[in-house]
Structure formats: structure tokens, C-alpha cells
Amino acid sequence: MQNPEKYEIIRKWIDPDERVTVDFLDEKDVSAAIIDGTTEHVALSIQTKFPHVKQHVSVSLGNVELGEDRNHYSRDPNRPLQHARLRMMINQKRPQWV
């Protein structure tokens, strides 16, 4: 899948209140929100082990594969319920944060 096709899928999930599942090479099933994106990169706000502390990461779409996570559902009450959510497999390790 090329970057413009990936962006068309990701664009529907750009919402700070909606969660997606992210898999890094070294960490799986991480909850994140897609904050912004272009046909070149996507900006994520990743949940951490500390409440109210988010890790902000920008990832190149060339390192991203897309799929579907059927173990989770969408959360936005203003939208129709979806019984699956976007899964992003990122072909790099999760960036360290302090």
C-alpha cells in the first residue's frame, strides 16, 4: 500500500478523542490517538503508564503498515459504534521518553 492510500485510511481516525492500536517492534497493543497527518508522516499521542502524560511521536508513513484491531471498539459516542478500530504496525522500536 502506498502512502496516499494509507493516509486516506488514517485521515478518518484523526481525532484526539478516538483511540487506535499501535504495535512497535518492541511493544505491542499500545493505545494512541492520531493527532495529525500528511501523506508523508503521522503524528501520534501515545498513552503512557502515567495518567494524563502522553508521549508525542511523529512517524513516517513508509514505516507504517495498517490493519484492523477487532479486540477493541470505537469510543466516540457522537459517531456510530464501530466494532473494530485501526491498528498501526510501526516497523521501528518505540522511541524512548523521559
For the segment 34-57, the average pLDDT, to the nearest whole number, is 93
What residues does each domain of the chain span? 3-90
Reply yes or no on whether the pLDDT at 16 is more than 90. Answer: no
User: What per-residue confidence (pLDDT) applies to 49?
Assistant: 86
Give the residue carrying C-alpha cell 504495535: 23
CA–CA separation, 57 and 76 (whole Å): 23
CA–CA separation, 86 and 66 (whole Å): 7
For the segment 38-44, the average pLDDT, to the nearest whole number, is 96
Q: How do residues 50-96 score in pLDDT, each as one tens digit?
A: 888 999 999 999 999 999 998 887 766 677 777 789 999 999 999 98
Name which of 33, 7, 10, 9 is nearest 20 in CA terms.
Answer: 33
User: What per-residue confidence (pLDDT) applies to 82?
Assistant: 75
